[in-house]
Chains A and B, each alone.
Chain A
Amino acid sequence: MTVTHLPDGRPPVVSVQGLTKRYGANTAVADIDLEVPRGVVAGFLGPNGAGKTTTMAMLLGLVRPTAGTGTVLELPLEQPTAYLGRVGALVEGPAFWPGLTGVENLRVVAELGGHGTDQIPELLELVGLADRGSDRFGQYSLGMKQRLGIAAALVGDPELLVLDEPTNGLDPAGINEMRDLIGEIAHDDRTVLVSSHLLGEVEQVCDWLIVIDHGALRYQGPADGFLGAATPELALAPEHTADLDRLADLVRTAGFDADRAAAEVTVRLDHDDQRSVAVALNREAMSAGIVLAELHVRRPNLESHYLATVQGGDR
């Protein structure tokens, strides 16, 4: 499922078509079209191995696409040197020089990008490392390393920030801090593309979602549109689990697709009138002598819809 409409008239920050990466016989990313509007926090979601990092690496000029064209910041994807000066990134974890202090690491990054070093204290303050800037990177905890990675990505005040799994390895408190930090650094003139294999880690800060799985695009569009595309389901739980098979057959005979689970039968409601379907199936069950212990419409949440999407439920 693909939804491609941008929330305003401004050109997208990322617009690529047919992006593909093959390693021999393996296809890491398969012919995906991406559009990321300006000024959004875009969640780039997919299970481990879905192709998120490879896609980001192609956008950042680290990996050469096998096929595909497009633009990043309105400049050709084939010329990363033209646009990377306006991009900050943290890809595949924070990689810095362990013998250098936090400040020295940021100085290296700033010099490489041709940026001034006077912004370093402010950046350390922003990521909560102001009092640890003179400590060596090798002595940092994982959370501190991730935060230094964010600070390094912010050097030069980039228009596009690409963060690959910034919550990886963090404890719940660290994940919360990282989520708050992402919310803090996002603003109208800066677009953030943040990947994660767990929707719950980023959904609160994302207003745009891109979902990929097995290298293929499953969804892209507004976050609320993703939930709106989810299908509610009717759950029927018989009093006795021994009646589950009979109940499932009965539902199918009534013309609905039934999924038999361990303690219930579920019916995808698609465009049907939820109330009339519930009434009809309740009546059928009663007629067959099956007493329903539960009968309710289950509205999908974002996480369950995401899991259904990447596990094939919505393909």
Chain B
Amino acid sequence: MTRAFRAEMVKLLRRRVGLLTALAVVVVAVGGTAIVLGGAEPAGPASAGQDLTLESLADAGGGTEVFRRAASFAGFFMFVVFVGTVAVEFGRGTFRTMLLRQPARLRLLAGKLAALLTFAAVVLAVTMVLTWVTARLMAPSQDIDTAAWTSLDGLAAGVADYGAVLFWITGYAVLGTTLAVLMRSVPIALAVGIAWAGPFEHLLQDAWDPASRLFPGLLLEAFVAGGTDDVDATRAFVSIAAYVGIAAAVAALSISRRDVTA
């Protein structure tokens, strides 16, 4: 697993990847902060974590709540990134190249996923700091008091928000990786993933109430939003964890059993 991790890091720790990632971080941090702060309601308490208000943003966790909300805009993008990053290894034949050097398939997949998640964790941390700084700079224009953001409670809320977003990303990563391992083709995996997580789940959500409590994409959205009217954050967390465990088992079974012919 360590070998696969280090090999994946060779691919990730390149100047080009760094520049593109930095650009994405700035766009999410600045653009996302502007959208979140601009959309905050001027009065009234937040209900069930759904609506962000100027008052709730002045709380200790207000600064990192902006990060959490801003990051949620990129959920679908992250899913696509993980599907594409793993599926392309099959389509391009590089999975075969990797297997010839690391034939322990589960270690190979686990190392690759661990490296991608480590990279994502660092990018998230940088994004969170940049979002917090941007929000602090923009907050006066919305008459948001940021004094509590620098308190110990603010730090604790920041850690909780970071952990929540990291868990949320991990959910997308494992589900996306599983889809890629099963489909072994970027266009097919993306088509299936986008169709499922996009129109399919949301159309069913409108037509069938339990959908919000059952479907992984909707649960991930609910979790990162801090819970919804249909499903609270804790239930979403447990359900996602179950999905992640099942998906990981399916991916492991598939990758260890199937022939590599491309």
Q: What B residues does A91 contact at CB under 8 A?
A: 96, 100
Q: Give Cα A97–Cα B8 distance, bound, in whole angstroms.
A: 11
Q: What A residues does B198 contact at CB under 8 A?
A: none
CB 8 Å contact bits of A222-239 with B (1 = contact, 0 = none): 000000000000000000
CB 8 Å contact bits of A96-138 with B (1 = contact, 0 = none): 1111100010011101111000000000000000000000000
State whether the Cβ of B7 lies closer than 8 Å to any Cβ in chain A: yes
Of the candidates A62, A87, A95, the one whose C-beta lies within 8 Å of that of B261 is A62
CB atoms of A95 and B92 under 8 A apart: yes
State whether the Cβ of B262 lies closer than 8 Å to any Cβ in chain A: yes
CB atoms of B103 and A113 under 8 A apart: no
Q: What A residues does B11 contact at CB under 8 A?
A: 97, 100, 104, 108
| Min C-beta distance of A23 to chain B, whole Å | 9
Q: Give Cα A155–Cα B108 distance, bound, in whole angstroms.
A: 18
Of the candidates A81, A92, A96, the one whose C-beta lies within 8 Å of that of B104 is A81
Q: Give Cα A62–Cα B96 distance, bound, in whole angstroms.
A: 7
Q: What A residues does B43 contact at CB under 8 A?
A: none
| Min C-beta distance of B177 to chain A, whole Å | 18
CB atoms of A104 and B100 under 8 A apart: no
Chain B 235-262 interface residues, beta-carbon cutoff 8 Å to A: 257, 259-262
Q: What A residues does B99 contact at CB under 8 A?
A: 61-62
CB atoms of A62 and B7 under 8 A apart: no
| Min C-beta distance of A164 to chain B, whole Å | 11
Q: Give Cα A84–Cα B4 distance, bound, in whole angstroms.
A: 15
Q: What B residues does A155 contact at CB under 8 A?
A: 101
Q: What A residues does B104 contact at CB under 8 A?
A: 81
State whether the Cβ of B50 lies closer than 8 Å to any Cβ in chain A: no
State whether the Cβ of A64 lies closer than 8 Å to any Cβ in chain B: yes
CB atoms of B259 and A112 under 8 A apart: no
CB atoms of B98 and A112 under 8 A apart: yes
State whether the Cβ of A152 lies closer than 8 Å to any Cβ in chain B: yes
**Does more than half of chain B's interface fall in helix, strand or loop, or is it mixed?**
helix
Q: What B residues does A62 contact at CB under 8 A?
A: 96, 99-100, 259-261
State whether the Cβ of A93 lies closer than 8 Å to any Cβ in chain B: yes
Which has the most chain B C-beta neighbours within 10 Å: A80, A107, A109, A112?
A112
Task: Please give the residue numbers on chain A whose beta carbons come within 8 Å of chain B beta carbons, in ascending order.
Answer: 57, 60-64, 80-81, 84, 87-89, 91-93, 95-100, 104, 107-109, 111-114, 152, 155
Q: Give Cα A113–Cα B257 distance, bound, in whole angstroms.
A: 22
| Min C-beta distance of B91 to chain A, whole Å | 10
Q: What A residues does B3 contact at CB under 8 A?
A: 111-114
Chosen A-B contacts, 28 in total, with CB atoms closer than 8 Å, are A57-B260, A57-B261, A60-B100, A61-B99, A62-B96, A62-B261, A84-B103, A91-B96, A92-B262, A95-B93, A95-B97, A96-B97, A97-B11, A100-B11, A107-B7, A107-B10, A108-B10, A108-B98, A109-B97, A111-B3, A111-B6, A111-B10, A112-B4, A112-B108, A113-B3, A113-B101, A113-B102, A114-B3
Q: Give Cα A203–Cα B176 distance, bound, in whole angstroms.
A: 47
| Min C-beta distance of A5 to chain B, whole Å | 31
CB atoms of B101 and A112 under 8 A apart: yes
Q: Give Cα A99–Cα B110 distance, bound, in whole angstroms.
A: 23
Which has the most chain A C-beta neighbours within 10 Å: B103, B108, B259?
B103
Q: Considering the complex, give the chain B residue whose CB is closest to the CB of A89.
A: B100
Q: What A residues does B14 contact at CB under 8 A?
A: 100, 104
CB atoms of A104 and B10 under 8 A apart: yes
Q: Give Cα A152–Cα B96 distance, bound, in whole angstroms.
A: 13
State whether the Cβ of B94 lies closer than 8 Å to any Cβ in chain A: yes
Q: A87-B100, A92-B96 are in contact. List 10 more A-B contacts (CB 8 A).
A: A60-B100, A62-B100, A63-B259, A64-B257, A64-B259, A84-B103, A107-B7, A111-B3, A112-B108, A155-B101
Q: What A residues does B108 contact at CB under 8 A?
A: 112
Q: What A residues does B4 contact at CB under 8 A?
A: 112
Q: What B residues does A64 contact at CB under 8 A?
A: 257, 259
Q: What B residues does A96 contact at CB under 8 A?
A: 94, 97
